[in-house]
Copies of this chain bind each other. A is one copy, B any other.
Amino acid sequence: VSVAQDRLIEKTLLAETGIPVAEFYSIESLQDLHDLAKHETLPFIIKTRRFGYDGKGQALFKETHQAAHIWSALGEVPMIAEKIVRFSRELSLIAVRNLSGEVVFYPLCENRHENGILAQTRSCSEPALQKVAEEYACKILDRYNYVGVLTIEFFDCEGKLLVNEIAPRVHNSGHWTIEASVTSQFENHIRAILNLPLGSTDIYSEFIMYNLVSCMPSMMEMLSIRNTHVHDYNKTQSPRRKLGHVTLCPVTADSKNRLEKLLTE
């Protein structure tokens, strides 16, 4: 956990383990930002090393003159500068390892973000990428003798996978496993830490999971759409806050259209 809580340590150890990641630099001072702009080609994404999520603690460093503002806005704390990579999509791999070392993987899924927050996760079938993603995941799991669910976010750069982030836990981009998989990420996490045999990660059907951000649509309307599975976290509405999610499974064109219309109203 301490590794994944510090973006710089995480990226350094991934690179050492032979996992491809985007080019990155440690930023310890305003001078480091100036040096970065001098020696490298902007833009870079600047992130605080700790306590960032949902796009918080991040800034885009496009022009040299932004250095002082970014240093101050992110709190003058240790940061990491990551080279912006061109990617066609973000993929997640949910991996599970139990105490005995048994390992299972869910099928890769595709994430879509809006304003830095995960908006959708949908099924995709990518046998070639799946194989590569699982190889990288095995290296990470073995390296840390990891037990439980681990989520790895990849950038798909024209068929080449770069690891963006690892999350040592059940993950928002795996919530679809509750309905779409034979065994959910939550059940497999419990099985893993109790050293029970891991459950099948096969999926029953294609799916799309939609996060409910900022405001909750009408429960009545969501449930009137066939094959919706609504999860209301019962939180107070607030801008950019994840209040719940809806998984559509199985996916039908009619349900997808109606639900996406409702969610953009």
Hey, which bits of chain A sit against chain B, CB under 8 A?
179, 182, 191, 196-197, 199-200, 202, 204-205, 219-220, 223-224, 226-227, 249-250
Contact = CB atoms under 8 A, between A and B. Distances in A.
Contacts of A182: 179, 227, 249-250
B197 A220 contact: yes
A219 B200 CA distance: 16
Contact of A227 (B191, B200, B205): B200
Contact of A197 (B191, B204, B205, B223): B223
A63 to B, nearest CB: 51
Contacts of A179: 182
Contacts of A196: 219-220, 223
A204 B207 CA distance: 13
A227 to B, nearest CB: 6
A196 B225 CA distance: 11
A204 B227 CA distance: 11
A191 to B, nearest CB: 7
Contact of A204 (B204, B224, B226): B204
Contacts of A200: 226-227
A7 B156 CA distance: 64
Contacts of A202: 250
Contacts of A199: 223
A213 B113 CA distance: 48
A123 to B, nearest CB: 14
17 contacts: A179-B182, A182-B227, A182-B249, A182-B250, A191-B223, A196-B219, A196-B220, A196-B223, A197-B220, A197-B223, A197-B224, A199-B223, A200-B226, A200-B227, A202-B250, A204-B204, A204-B205
A200 B254 CA distance: 14
A224 to B, nearest CB: 4
A249 to B, nearest CB: 7
Given A196-B219, A197-B224, 15 more contacts: A179-B182, A182-B227, A182-B249, A182-B250, A191-B223, A196-B220, A196-B223, A197-B220, A197-B223, A199-B223, A200-B226, A200-B227, A202-B250, A204-B204, A204-B205
A202 B202 CA distance: 19
A200 B229 CA distance: 10
Contacts of A219: 196
Nearest to A249: B182
Contacts of A191: 223
A187 to B, nearest CB: 9
